[in-house]
Structure 1
Amino acid sequence: MKAVPQGLVWISETDVTSVMNIGGAIEALEKGLTAEAHGEATNMLKTHAAWNASTLHAIGAVFPKMGLAGTKTWAHTPQGASPLLILFDSENGAVRAVIEAFNLGKMRTAAASGVATSRLARKDADDLAIIGTGKQAFSQVEAVVAVRPIRRIRLFSPNAEHRVAFAEGLKKQFGAEVVVAGSVGEAVQGASIITTVTRTKDPFLQSSMVERGAHINAVGAILPGRAELAPDIVPRCTQIVCDSPTQAQKLSAELIDHFRSDPREWNHVRSLAELVVTNQERRSVDDLTLLKALGTGVLDLSVGIEVYRRIRGL
């Protein structure tokens, strides 16, 4: 067996959660997205391959000024996934760290919602609807609570047992009122912030369910064969932000379908990096605002590099 290269750090899931939380992940994303906007970080577009009911994914990014590059890869199977983020020295190619990245990924995805919500949700937004109660959902609630004074959280998923268990976890963690809804429509009625984090193939959030003034974080459908938003939602979105508009043109069925009739309209979709550096907030004329997040290397590396720095005491 070959010896572990000198200087290589293996960072476990426990290590990640010992040095990073949602607040830290949001701060790390703000810095990483600023670097991306200034040309100091470059995304490697997501690639994936499918077999049976499983998919293999890879994303990455380069931060030359920080001397680091990296990729995150994972195989998502019906039995689970074990994502790894590998950090390389961008000068000599040496492996600097291998990071177990399940918890990192949850925080990264949630932090993207936090960054977008902090700018696109109304200042007085205090009513959150969360659709989906899987492994990503709790972090999504944490991120929204970190940036808005949430007084009520309504939740829905098709599995009644999951709904009840998730609600109990929320009640223990947050001071907000927690309501288990009986349907998507009941959960989102009047909500000022709506987060969808599901793996469904069939869109469920319809325009008639959503009141004017809401902000939507749509973060569950990350492959072309999935959709959470019905076709009548996107036309109402007066601000659409993607973590990567280029990637969305290949992977977001909801946006691809909407812009098919006039591809030039893609020019109105802004990147999350642009939103951060321009610091533009919600406008009074906005009907709905939308974050469509698919996951990017810059987002993962932003959090991963900060975890690495904290573990190393840098």
Structure 2
Amino acid sequence: MRILTEAELNKVPMSILVEAVRAQIVADAEGRAVAPPRHHVDFGEGGLTFTCGGNDELAGFRVYDTFPKPDGVDEDQVVIAFDRASAKLKGLFIGERLGALRTGCLGGVAAALMAPDQPIKKLGLIGTGVQAETQLLAIAAVRKIEKVFTFSRNAEKRLAFAQRMAAQLGIPVHAADDAQTAVEGADFVVLATNSAEPVIKTEWLATGAHINTLGPKFKDRHELPLDILQRVRTCASDSPQQIAAQGENHMFHGQALNIQHLGAYQDERRVGDLSLFLSAGLAGTEVALLSAAIDALA
């Protein structure tokens, strides 16, 4: 059994992590995975949320808390992987980094399976937090990116983010003055915010663009404008079952939109249509990522 540290995890090539997550998504689409909707245990003011899942080889879970925290206190998370063949604990990881990388990898898989197999000329990124970082790292692992324009409300943070990511990826990353500048003309757009209201306008989106959305997707809270459906024919999620579990609370509930499983994605776009990926957090992808990281470091 291995206790994986954040420093060790960060040494694993992103391409290996993206492939592990892709394989788990495909396994789920083909009925070879266990991935129930997440389970929340309520303790009054907060609680524990479990995402349990696995495949033919692995079983495990991630658990994180939703208890109120003082400013500056990080959320604690634990990911555990069991080897089914040996019935032994394979490893565990404590901290937030694995969950953030997993979410980034979901976006990377969407880029690999949904976006055209060609360089991304301009990637528009709304958000400059850790989720924005891991999205960019994962997408860069599967597609060449020529330039990035990023925006968030804090000018100092977005400039620091742009400088850091440009140095890390070796590509131009520009801090845009506003969201419209970041998104207009982009052939790939990523929304990585926790905003309760739309952070872009549909008319800013270029013809044929692909969009990854990570943030809130509720009827009354969503970072994506609802009128985007007028231009979307192809939509996919890593966990349609998680979206279905939200029922009428989901932003697209009752809309005539076919949400495909990303692991069985079929491109149904007409010329000029937008494509849309709804990141939901497929259970078991954290376990698959942990296992792949342990194997890579063996």
TM-score by length of 1: 0.83
Deviation at 1:218, TM superposition (A): 0.3
Q: Choose which of 245, 261, 280 in structure 2 pairs with 1:271.
A: 261
Partner Cα separation in structure 2 for residue 292 and residue 252 of structure 1: 15
Partner Cα separation in structure 1 for residue 153 and residue 47 of structure 2: 23
- 8 Å Cα contact 2:184-2:206 kept in structure 1: yes
1:60 aligns to 2:55 (yes or no): no
**Match of residue 225 from structure 2:** 230
**Match of residue 242 from structure 1:** 237
Partner Cα separation in structure 2 for residue 111 and residue 146 of structure 1: 9
1:206 aligns to 2:204 (yes or no): no
1:69 aligns to 2:59 (yes or no): yes
- 1:129 alignment partner, SS class: strand
1:98 aligns to 2:97 (yes or no): no
**Match of residue 4 from structure 1:** none
- 2:162 alignment partner, SS class: helix
TM-score by length of 2: 0.87
Partner Cα separation in structure 1 for residue 268 and residue 146 of structure 2: 21
Partner Cα separation in structure 2 for residue 21 and residue 100 of structure 1: 20
Partner Cα separation in structure 2 for residue 53 and residue 134 of structure 1: 26
**Match of residue 309 from structure 1:** 295
Equivalent residue runs for 1:41-190 within 5 Å: 41-48=33-40, 56-63=48-55, 65-66=56-57, 68-76=58-66, 77=69, 79-90=73-84, 94-122=88-116, 123-190=118-185
For residues 245-266 of structure 1, the C-alpha deviation after alignment (integer angstroms, 9 at most, x for no partner) is 121134498x933332x5xx45
Give the residue type in structure 2 aligned to 1:303: L
Question: How many residue pairs align between the two structures?
Answer: 293
Partner Cα separation in structure 2 for residue 51 and residue 221 of structure 1: 23
Give the residue type in structure 1 aligned to 2:287: L
Partner Cα separation in structure 2 for residue 159 and residue 96 of structure 1: 41
Q: Choose which of 210, 216, 219 in structure 2 pairs with 1:221.
A: 216
Equivalent residue runs for 1:250-261 within 5 Å: 250-251=245-246, 256-260=250-254
Deviation at 1:198, TM superposition (A): 0.8
Deviation at 1:285, TM superposition (A): 2.4
- 2:203 alignment partner, SS class: helix
5+ residue gaps, structure 2:
none
Deviation at 1:147, TM superposition (A): 2.4
Partner Cα separation in structure 2 for residue 53 and residue 160 of structure 1: 34
Give the residue type in structure 1 aligned to 2:62: K
Distance 1:299 1:224, change over 3 A: farther
Partner Cα separation in structure 1 for residue 169 and residue 268 of structure 2: 26
Deviation at 1:294, TM superposition (A): 1.8
Partner Cα separation in structure 1 for residue 97 and residue 213 of structure 2: 20
Give the residue type in structure 2 aligned to 1:12: T
Q: Choose which of 277, 282, 288 in structure 2 pairs with 1:291.
A: 277
Q: Choose which of 5, 18, 22 in structure 2 pairs with 1:12.
A: 5
- 8 Å Cα contact 1:119-1:282 kept in structure 2: no
Deviation at 1:89, TM superposition (A): 4.3
5+ residue gaps, structure 1:
1-7
